[in-house]
A and B are shown apart, each in its own frame.
Chain A
Amino acid sequence: MDNIIEAKDVWFHYQSESFEEDAPIKEVLKGVSLDIKRGEFVAVLGHNGSGKSTIAKHFNAILTANKGEIIVDGINAADDEKLFDIRQRVGMVFQNPDNQIVATIVEEDVAFALENLGVDPAEMRERVDNALKDVGMYDFREHAPHQLSGGQKQRVAIAGIIAMCPDCIVLDEPTAMLDPIGRKEVMKTIKKLNRENGVTIILITHYMDEAAKADRIVVMDSGQIILDGTPKQVFKNVDLLKEVGLDVPQVTELAYGLRKNGIDIPDDIITEEECIEEIIKIIEKAGK
């Protein structure tokens, strides 16, 4: 199978800020192995400090492993010479939209990376226009970024990445600072890029409802992967998820509570529709 990213037994610790020679090393990643298939939509969950952002920063070589290796589209991420190739294949979007915008006009911001890469102006025009259309911000191409909402800024940041035609986009809590409308816009954009353009998506999030929309969920705790599967498989583990400081969708929790009380309802409910349907089934069955 074609993997866009392969992590093999990755260990990582940050440089100690202490001046003491024998300051203990705190391992942030403790042997993470993970394959991401081309075209997959993977959500990564974990509480603060679980290592989820740290592993994500390995995927486009912002950080390099102390031990183990990361292979991006067949290229070893530890190879300094290949840094540009890796960054072109894997783009990264961060949490704070205000920290990612550099230009004073939306379309110039989207073109920024292309200018650095020396892309031909005619092609640049086309790529910038297409990227802005993909995220639904084409009409705002001549606006100043400060006139945009948080969700719109975040979509401009995504457009800047798409313009580089990456195979994979890593988004580190892209909706954490947005309001519900902004969140919806960004999630819609991400899903569209995945389904229609075939871009591999790695979404780091605290929102369980966003994770429920992915093909696959990876849960991290203390620098290790503790769960990996479809949303239905992962959210079944209500107790374990709560133990590591995470939530499950409310409907999953409700079904879990019903089961605990001896009511027969499936343990893999993750959407509102399923929940409504199953509750009605139970009520109707009783009526007969």
Chain B
Amino acid sequence: MAIIKTEDLTYVYSAGTPFEKKAIDNLNIEIEEGELVGIIGHTGSGKSTFIQHLNGLLKPSSGKIFIDGTDIWQDKQTTLATRFKVGLVFQYPEYQIFEETVYKDIAFGPKNMGLSEEEIDKRVRETAKLVEISDEQLEKSPFELSGGQKRRVAIAGVMAMRPKVLILDEPCAGLDPKGRDRILDKIKEYHEEQKSTVLLVSHSMEDVAKIATKILVMNNASIVCYDEPPKVFGMAEEISKMGLDIPQITKVFNALKEKGYHIADDVYTVPYALKKLLAYLDNKGVKGNA
């Protein structure tokens, strides 16, 4: 059964005013449990509006959302329970840190869930370990940490609630390449350990390609496609027209194909590009030393 399912989901901002705007339009999608989904789309495509529906932060103008088979708006209790089932990490989550110590900040969500002290302690320590925050750092004020560390703490705060679905809105925004790879690695580790469903919103196809099992492309308030990464990258040109960035290497291989050198269709990482190109060259009789 799908963990997330929407039926004709539509949301209109400022309905009945001159600023009325359909942010999502008749969305129908089913996401299976255990997927790591990369959601890409340019600003205004509706991706943030979409994810805010999944834990009941926004109420649909029309249509339905099912989490784990239950309509999240069927009654008030279900809506509230959804907030624990679906954890949402906003953009720049480090701005939302407020507790005195890192430990307390990570413990805040689990505490609100009414868990026992022992369980809270266990979860805080496990999650801190996962995001590489040391025991010593747990006792520090969050404001003594670096930007990258703060972000990992803020993400840990949601992970510690062990939501069935974890959603992260642009978790890598503003980080340097090293910090970016580290966060992506941690998300992947969490996904593998917990076997839960993870949704990752990003502008960058490159980042998404590194870890996602499926990619959801949004444009103009609708879903353009939902498929495995190689298939989605095969549509590079259409995606580029939507104002999204295509990895440089994908552009190179597409251009080569256009010029009659068909090496591979689904290139988006350098190691894979290298492998395919070396094999192609080998075939043509260009021998390296390897």
- Across the interface, do A47 and B278 meet the contact criterion of CB distance under 8 Å? no
Tell me, yes or no, whether B62 is within 8 Å of chain A by CB: no
Which of B3-11, B157-165, B217-225, B249-257 lies on the face that meets chain A?
B249-257
- Across the interface, do A206 and B277 meet the contact criterion of CB distance under 8 Å? no
Which of A32-40, A71-79, A102-110, A248-256 lies on the face that meets chain B?
A248-256
Cα(A98)–Cα(B261), bound, Å: 46
Tell me, yes or no, whether B74 is within 8 Å of chain A by CB: no
- Across the interface, do B281 and A283 meet the contact criterion of CB distance under 8 Å? yes
| Chain B residues in 8 Å Cβ range of A142 | none
| Chain A residues in 8 Å Cβ range of B285 | 286
Cα(A260)–Cα(B251), bound, Å: 23
Known contacts being A180-B245, A251-B248, A280-B261, is A258 close to B148, with CB within 8 Å? no
> 14 additional contacts, CB 8 Å, given A286-B286, A287-B284?
A149-B43, A149-B44, A176-B174, A206-B175, A206-B177, A245-B178, A246-B176, A250-B252, A254-B270, A254-B277, A261-B274, A261-B278, A279-B277, A285-B286
Cα(A246)–Cα(B251), bound, Å: 22
Closest chain B residue, CB of each to CB of A147: B19
The 8 lowest CB-CB distance pairs between A and B, nearest first, are A262-B289, A262-B288, A245-B178, A261-B288, A257-B274, A180-B245, A250-B249, A250-B248
Tell me, yes or no, whether B230 is within 8 Å of chain A by CB: no
- Across the interface, do A47 and B261 meet the contact criterion of CB distance under 8 Å? no
| Chain A residues in 8 Å Cβ range of B277 | 254, 258, 279
- Across the interface, do A258 and B274 meet the contact criterion of CB distance under 8 Å? yes
- Across the interface, do B261 and A283 meet the contact criterion of CB distance under 8 Å? yes
- Across the interface, do A95 and B146 meet the contact criterion of CB distance under 8 Å? no
Cα(A258)–Cα(B263), bound, Å: 15
- Across the interface, do A253 and B203 meet the contact criterion of CB distance under 8 Å? no
Tell me, yes or no, whether B173 is within 8 Å of chain A by CB: yes
**Neighbour of B148 across the interface among A48, A250, A287, CB < 8 A:** A48
Interface size class on chain B is: 35 or more
Contact count A vs B, C-beta below 8 Å: 112
| Chain A residues in 8 Å Cβ range of B247 | 250
Known contacts being A209-B248, A286-B284, is A258 close to B176, with CB within 8 Å? no
- Most chain A beta-carbon contacts within 10 A, residue among B147, B177, B251, B290: B177
- Across the interface, do B252 and A272 meet the contact criterion of CB distance under 8 Å? yes
User: Could you jot down 13 A-B contacts, CB within 8 Å?
Assistant: A48-B148, A180-B244, A182-B43, A246-B178, A250-B248, A258-B274, A258-B277, A261-B290, A262-B290, A279-B261, A280-B261, A282-B281, A285-B286
- Proximity string of chain A (139-154) to chain B, C-beta cutoff 8 Å, 1 when within and 0 when not: 0000000000110000
Tell me, yes or no, whether B179 is within 8 Å of chain A by CB: yes
Tell me, yes or no, whether A173 is within 8 Å of chain B by CB: yes
Interface size class on chain A is: 35 or more
- Across the interface, do B176 and A251 meet the contact criterion of CB distance under 8 Å? no
| Chain B residues in 8 Å Cβ range of A249 | 248
- Across the interface, do A181 and B273 meet the contact criterion of CB distance under 8 Å? no
| Chain B residues in 8 Å Cβ range of A246 | 176-178
- Across the interface, do A245 and B274 meet the contact criterion of CB distance under 8 Å? no
Cα(A173)–Cα(B148), bound, Å: 16
Tell me, yes or no, whether B42 is within 8 Å of chain A by CB: yes
- Proximity string of chain B (261-290) to chain A, C-beta cutoff 8 Å, 1 when within and 0 when not: 100000000110110011011001111111
Known contacts being A173-B174, A177-B173, is A261 close to B248, with CB within 8 Å? no
Tell me, yes or no, whether B69 is within 8 Å of chain A by CB: no
Cα(A26)–Cα(B187), bound, Å: 32
**Neighbour of B42 across the interface among A176, A180, A261, A283, CB < 8 A:** A180
Cα(A149)–Cα(B43), bound, Å: 8
**Neighbour of B173 across the interface among A149, A176, A282, CB < 8 A:** A176
- Across the interface, do B177 and A263 meet the contact criterion of CB distance under 8 Å? no
Closest chain A residue, CB of each to CB of B271: A257
Cα(A182)–Cα(B244), bound, Å: 11
- Proximity string of chain B (37-54) to chain A, C-beta cutoff 8 Å, 1 when within and 0 when not: 000001110000000000
